[in-house]
Every structure is written in C-alpha cells, then in structure tokens.
Copies of this chain bind each other. A is one copy, B any other.
Amino acid sequence: MDDQEPVVDPQRPVYVWQQVADWIAGRIDAGELLPGARLEGERELAERAGVAVGTVRRAVEDLRERGLVVTLPAKGTYIADRPNS
C-alpha cells in the first residue's frame, strides 16, 4: 500500500545523495513542485527516499548551489523562482 517506485538504488555507480537530488530536481522540472512551494522536511524526504537524513541534507545542499531551491533555517526549503530561460 505504501511502496511506490524506489527513488534511489545504492547499487548504481552514482552517489546516493546525487540520486536524491536528481529525483527532487526531476519533480521540479516536471512541474510537480512549483516556484514558491515548500519542499517536504528533511526527515520526511529521508523516509520517502529510504536514505539517511544526512544524505538528504547533502542533496538539498546541491540543489541550493544549483539555485533550484532556497532554504530558510527553521522554516523550510522552498522552490526558487525560475530565472528567465
């Protein structure tokens, strides 16, 4: 009832945190997460992806560096506004 398709595969030759980041980036790209929307909390994402919280943190940090999200400590991480393509 609660298993959806797995988000990451530890076996693949790609860092798990990168797989998580790509998963989230994919959701943004697909329009599932619109600019201004709040991303789920770290713990929730970790449970959903089946990885450790630290791994999610590493992934979100990457998204931040890519400018895809903005993090407000103690409030949450939000989808950034799209720069004019």
Contacts and interface: CB of A to CB of B under 8 A. Distances in A.
Contacts of A76: 13
As for how many copies of this chain the complex holds, the number is: 2
Contact of A38 (B11, B36, B75): B11
Interface string A48-85: 00000000000000000000001010011010000000
Interface residues of A, number: 12
A11 B39 CA distance: 11
Nearest to A14: B72
Interface of A: 11-15, 36, 38, 70, 72, 75-76, 78
12 contacts: A11-B38, A12-B36, A13-B36, A13-B38, A13-B70, A13-B72, A13-B75, A13-B76, A13-B78, A14-B72, A15-B72, A15-B75
